Amino acid sequence: MTMIVAGVMSGTSADGINVALVRFANEPAGRPKSLSPRKNRRANCTLLAHEEYPFPAPVRRAILGMMNAELARVADLARLNFLLGELYAEAIAKAARQHRVKLDLVGCHGQTLYHQGTPQRFLGRQLAVTWQTGEAAIIASNLRVPVVSDFRPADMAAGGKGAPLVPFLDYLLYRDASLSRIAQNIGGIANLTAIPAGASLDQLIAFDTGPGNMVIDAVMEELFGKRYDHNGKVSASGRVLDHVIAQLLRAPFFRQTPPRTAGREEFGREYVGRFLQLCQGSSKPDIVATATALAAHSIANAVKQFVVPKFISPATSARRQKRDHQMIVSGGGAKNPTLMSMLHDAVAPLGISLHFSDEFGVPAEAKEAVAFALLAHETWHRRPSNVPSATGAKRPAIMGKISYA
């Protein structure tokens, strides 16, 4: 049975809501009796359209404020949950109306307010926790369409870090018998899925490389009062402070063996404060260029340390492997030419060529939204969609909760 699913994402940048309208074909009618083996399944789907709706400035300020767990008030958190439910519903309705589609299902990631993927001690217990907000009951009720939401906890209940969840889509889109590929998403945080040539789903390497646009956006806000460095113009006019990059890359996070996850907890306000201190006395464009280089170099370093060694099989000479790897970039960072040129220069020596997910039929800014359409579709059919090799989960899990219309 064909299904049209809206995938909805709003990431740690808190820049806005991405809605992908995706059609899935050829599902066997009825519920599968057992969990289907996921190896070698292709993403049997078509992206019909993608729309992006920026958050109004006061909403963005409220979201960023409430990511600060120390200061947020519980009443405001409850209000934000319902407000986001309304905003998601409006965004989805608008996209569906514009493209004249009738939705069968929504998969809404929600807005992460807190994510701590590694267990820490709390009231005498070791707990890993996560929290995405945006009330799915409101979305389901306003749209009269069932909604899958709250994707991460099921993986954590199975012992995983609850992230990353996009590797499931990356695998279906990019696996190749002879090419090793890296799907590199650059949102607020940058994360990758490495798919060695001929790999099965349980051989993926996926983790957060570190900051993506988060530090760039924060210094643009601080120094220029702007949300981001539009088309990389400011960074293009600056010079990278190499000594700052060298010092920052020595931080324990960048040496931490994957799986690992990051968020505003690691690269948010406090981190940016320290970053600005290190850059003190330099020109504003140099500081933005350095924040941009931090994203490029932390990605390249992670690839060099943790990915390339797994790509080079001892059977093949290093010479023959050269230029055999591709990095396929998605996320808002793909729109920043300065960042892309720095990333190109940093990964070229590793024998990696740079591509955009657009070449593979998924616009860079739409990929994560498409992923949550896919995950919702899997959940609707009672199939697991976490990737234990990526999250560290002990077993496959069916992700999310369903709110019926």
Ligand X SMILES: Nc1ncnc2c1ncn2[C@@H]1O[C@H](COP(=O)(O)OP(=O)(O)O)[C@@H](O)[C@H]1O
Judged by the rule CB under 6 A, the positions of this chain that interact with ligand X are 11-13, 15, 187-188, 213, 216-217, 228-232, 331-333, 335-336, 368
Least distance in angstroms from the C-beta of 11 to ligand X: 2
Q: Which stretch binds Mg ion (CB under 5 A): 7-15, 24-32, 232-240, 289-297?
A: 7-15
Measuring CA to CA, which residue among 371, 363, 370, 376 is closest to residue 104? 376
Decide whether 16 or 153 has the Cβ nearer to ligand X: 16
For residue 134, state whether it binds Mg ion (rule: CB under 5 A): no
Least distance in angstroms from the C-beta of 62 to Mg ion: 16
Rg of the chain over Cα atoms, rounded to whole angstroms, equals 20
Decide whether 158 or 272 has the Cβ nearer to ligand X: 272
For residue 15, state whether it binds Mg ion (rule: CB under 5 A): yes
Question: What whole-number distance in Å separates Cα of residue 185 and Cα of residue 340?
Answer: 12
Give 77: exposed, middle or buried? Use CB within 10 Å, 0-12, 13-18, 19+: middle
Decide whether 85 or 232 has the Cβ nearer to ligand X: 232
Decide whether 13 or 209 has the Cβ nearer to Mg ion: 13
Q: 298 is in the binding site of which of Mg ion, ligand X, none (Cβ under 5 to 8 A by kind)?
A: none
Q: Which stretch binds Mg ion (CB under 5 A): 15-23, 119-127, 303-311, 333-341?
A: 15-23
How many beta carbons lie within 10 A of that of residue 217, not counting itself?
22
Question: What whole-number distance in Å separates Cα of residue 143 and Cα of residue 145?
Answer: 5
Q: Give the total of residues touching Mg ion (CB under 5 A).
A: 3
Measuring CA to CA, which residue among 165, 155, 390 is closest to residue 258? 390
Measuring CA to CA, which residue among 363, 66, 328 is closest to residue 191? 328
Least distance in angstroms from the C-beta of 22 to Mg ion: 18
Decide whether 223 or 312 has the Cβ nearer to ligand X: 223
Least distance in angstroms from the C-beta of 335 to ligand X: 3
Q: Facing residues of 112 across strands? A: 132
Measuring CA to CA, which residue among 93, 95, 75 is closest to residue 83? 75
Least distance in angstroms from the C-beta of 192 to Mg ion: 18
Q: 396 is in the binding site of which of Mg ion, ligand X, none (Cβ under 5 to 8 A by kind)?
A: none
In whole angstroms, how far apart are CA 337 and each of 264, 333, 351, 388?
A: 24, 8, 20, 34
For residue 13, state whether it binds Mg ion (rule: CB under 5 A): yes
For residue 336, state whether it binds Mg ion (rule: CB under 5 A): no
Least distance in angstroms from the C-beta of 180 to ligand X: 24
Q: 167 is in the binding site of which of ligand X, Mg ion, none (Cβ under 5 to 8 A by kind)?
A: none
Question: H/E element holding 126?
Answer: strand 125-133
Cβ-based neighbours of 30, under 8 Å, separated by 6 or more: none
Q: Give Cα 162 to chain centroid, integer Å.
A: 12
Question: What whole-number distance in Å separates Cα of residue 31 and Cα of residue 25?
Answer: 15
Least distance in angstroms from the C-beta of 364 to ligand X: 8
Question: What whole-number distance in Å separates Cα of residue 180 and Cα of residue 311?
Answer: 7
For residue 11, state whether it binds Mg ion (rule: CB under 5 A): yes
* Parallel, antiparallel or unpaired: strands 189-195 and 205-211: antiparallel
Least distance in angstroms from the C-beta of 12 to Mg ion: 8
Decide whether 311 or 372 has the Cβ nearer to Mg ion: 372
Decide whether 181 or 335 has the Cβ nearer to ligand X: 335
Half-sphere exposure of 82 (CA within 13 A, CB side): 5
Decide whether 228 or 306 has the Cβ nearer to Mg ion: 228
Q: 333 is in the binding site of which of ligand X, Mg ion, none (Cβ under 5 to 8 A by kind)?
A: ligand X
The residue ranges that bind Mg ion (CB under 5 A) are 11, 13, 15
